[in-house]
């Protein structure tokens, strides 16, 4: 098995576990955690792709909420400083990446007519 | 503002927003596919798969660029706030355009070997140690995974379930996704681009995103909310005259929370500055009939108890406050969300005519 197949196997296992988490969470977990979800079923298929992708985060929040460990004060404390940090790092990255891309750009003669190297079937 | 979750909470504004966005996408694709195909180096005969892949890729890049410009523009000038209102729909559509681009690539360049096309995508180029010829596809895969996570967690359920700060952190992936897209284009199509109209669009768009974010962060750093001075365990905000009727003064508390103190017809009330929905800045909203409206998405709260009007159920914390020697002071210990606090009257208050 090569590395590419290993990566794809990992992706399949990740998605498979996510599907099991989605089944359990949407069947009985969500109703116990969120008042707004009780009796609301049409929106649930929209939640499935998210659970498939971030199921460890879903399990963590499920545990925190079910165990009564959720701290309400944290909901109202946005992380503005880290947002500003990202906003400053990204411009530097963008300029660096474009400069790197332009520096390795090669030029070659354009409008060259195609040349048939071998006869068809050879 | 939901009582029970629905798949999409449509309203007229969202219909108009989505319609304009859809017309824009169709116009862009039509222009790049049929009117000016040379913009994507299509002067020579080219198969439809590559033609479509380039057009959808260019469209996804432009859409992502516009999305990333909206945030800082709304912070720099509030006239751009309406664009922020339905940005999540914009993001979801961008993800679908990007997936279409990836599908055309996969089903052309990697579809005709004996290997599985997904395996072929991963092993076709492994020159990770050199810049020229670097496997730029890896950046595209990373960006697509990020966009998929953002689109898949865009429903309001996720904000309430994960909490707004965690949701916001997760959605900070957009910055890394954009940097990856810039790398994907710089080390990919830019290496082969002969018509430089798209080169100009690409570099101009990326630099606009970079410049706007840097400028908005600098403005925030320069004119950010001040930390209130402490006085016997209470935090000083300002003099009552400093708050116009219907508006608020925002202060940073020593514990990192932000409080918004409102003047509602000569009576003072204090609530958390962070909206329960996406932590939008409530203190930048205006109070009308006791209700402040979040400038980001229109959620409303009664400033005396931090509750959304029925039948909505959102709540924010409130703060006790007092007037001492003509200075408004706030107890830094927040009350649980939805707790009523008797408004403090400003002695001798008279509305100053505009």
Q: b/e for A69-95, b at 16 or more Cβ within 10 A?
A: eeeeeebbbbbbeebbebbeebbebbb
Locate the DSSP E strands across chain B. Answer: 230-231, 234-236, 248-252, 258-264, 267-272, 287-288, 291-293, 300-302, 318-319, 321-324, 327-330, 344-345
* Local structure of residue B34 (DSSP, 8 states): I
Q: How many angstroms away from the CA of A100 is the closest CA of chain B?
A: 8
CA distances A17 to A23, A31, A57, B193, B242, Å, are 10, 21, 13, 42, 56
Nearest CA in chain A to B183: A97
CB contacts, 8 Å: B257 with chain A: 73, 76-77
The candidate with the shortest Cα–Cα distance to B86, out of B77, B98, B94, is B94
What confidence category does residue A62 fall into, taking pLDDT thresholds of 50, 70 and 90?
very high
pLDDT at B232: 86
Q: Does B172 reach chain A within 8 Å, measured CB to CB?
A: yes
The fold adopted by the segment(s) B230-345 is Rieske Iron-sulfur Protein (2.102.10)
pLDDT at B2: 54
What confidence category does residue A103 fall into, taking pLDDT thresholds of 50, 70 and 90?
very high
Q: Does B153 reach chain A within 8 Å, measured CB to CB?
A: yes
Contact flag B122-A102 (C-beta cutoff 8 Å): no
pLDDT at B300: 94
Which contiguous run of DSSP H or E holds residue B257? none
* Local structure of residue B115 (DSSP, 8 states): S
pLDDT over 70 (residue A1): no
Instruction: Tell me which of A58, A87, A100, A111 to substitute to probe the interface with B (most B C-beta atoms closer than 10 Å).
Output: A87
What is the block-wise mean pLDDT of chain B (354 residues), using blocks of 10 residues?
77 91 95 78 74 93 96 91 89 97 95 90 92 94 98 95 93 94 95 84 96 90 80 92 93 90 94 92 89 91 94 92 94 95 90 62
ipTM over 0.90: no
H-helix segments, chain A: 3-24, 30-33, 44-66, 80-103
Coil vs helix vs strand at B120:
helix
Indicate the residue of B160, B186, B213 with minimum beta-carbon distance to A90: B213
C-alpha B16/C-alpha B12 separation (Å) is: 6
CA atoms within 13 A on the CB side of B200: 4
Contact flag B272-A61 (C-beta cutoff 8 Å): no
CB contacts, 8 Å: B201 with chain A: none
C-alpha B124/C-alpha B119 separation (Å) is: 8
Contact flag B182-A3 (C-beta cutoff 8 Å): no
For chain B, which residues make up each domain, given as ranges?
A: 12-222, 230-345
For chain A, which residues make up each domain, given as ranges?
A: 3-103
């Amino acid at each position: 098995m090569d590395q590419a197949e290993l990566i794809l196997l990992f992706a399949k296992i990740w998605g498979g576990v996510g599907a099991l988490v989605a089944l359990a969470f949407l069947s009985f977990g969500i109703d116990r955690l969120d008042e707004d979800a009780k009796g609301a079923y049409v929106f649930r298929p929209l939640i499935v792709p998210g659970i498939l992708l971030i199921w460890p985060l879903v399990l963590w929040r499920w545990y925190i909420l079910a165990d009564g460990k959720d701290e309400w004060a944290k909901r109202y404390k946005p992380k503005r400083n880290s947002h500003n940090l990202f906003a400053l790092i990204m411009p530097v990255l963008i300029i660096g990446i474009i400069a790197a891309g332009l520096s390795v750009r090669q030029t070659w003669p354009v409008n060259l007519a195609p040349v048939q190297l071998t006869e068809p079937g050879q | 503002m939901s009582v029970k979750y629905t798949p999409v909470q449509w309203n007229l504004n969202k219909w108009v927003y989505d319609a304009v966005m859809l017309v824009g996408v169709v116009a862009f694709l039509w222009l790049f596919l049929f009117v000016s195909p040379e913009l994507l180096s299509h002067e020579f005969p080219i198969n439809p798969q590559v033609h479509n892949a380039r057009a959808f890729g260019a469209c996804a890049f432009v859409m992502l660029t516009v999305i990333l410009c909206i945030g800082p523009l709304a912070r720099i000038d509030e006239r751009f706030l309406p664009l922020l209102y339905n940005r999540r729909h914009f993001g979801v559509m961008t993800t679908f355009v990007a997936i279409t681009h990836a599908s055309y690539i996969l089903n052309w360049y990697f579809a005709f070997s004996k290997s599985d096309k997904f395996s072929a995508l991963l092993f076709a180029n492994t020159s990770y140690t050199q810049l020229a010829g670097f496997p730029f596809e890896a950046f595209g895969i990373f960006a697509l995974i990020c966009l998929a996570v953002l689109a898949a967690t865009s429903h309001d359920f996720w904000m309430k379930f994960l909490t707004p700060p965690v949701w916001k952190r997760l959605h900070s992936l957009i910055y890394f996704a954009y940097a990856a897209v810039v790398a994907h284009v710089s080390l990919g199509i830019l290496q082969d681009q002969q018509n430089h109209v798209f080169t100009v669009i690409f570099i101009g768009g990326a630099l606009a995103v970079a410049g706007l974010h840097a400028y908005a962060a600098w403005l925030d750093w320069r004119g950010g909310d001040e930390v209130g001075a402490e006085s016997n365990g209470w935090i000083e905000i300002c003099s009552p005259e400093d708050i116009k009727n219907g508006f608020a003064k925002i202060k940073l508390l020593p514990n990192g929370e932000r409080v918004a103190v409102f003047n509602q017809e000569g009576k003072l009330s204090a609530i958390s500055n962070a909206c329960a929905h996406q932590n939008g800045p409530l203190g930048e909203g205006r109070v009308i009939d006791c209700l402040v409206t979040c400038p980001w998405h229109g959620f409303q709260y009664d400033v005396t108890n931090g509750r959304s009007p029925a039948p909505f159920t959102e709540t924010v914390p409130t703060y006790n406050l007092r007037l001492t020697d003509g200075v408004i002071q706030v107890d830094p210990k927040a009350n649980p969300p939805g707790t009523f606090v008797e408004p403090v009257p400003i002695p001798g208050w008279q509305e100053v005519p505009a």
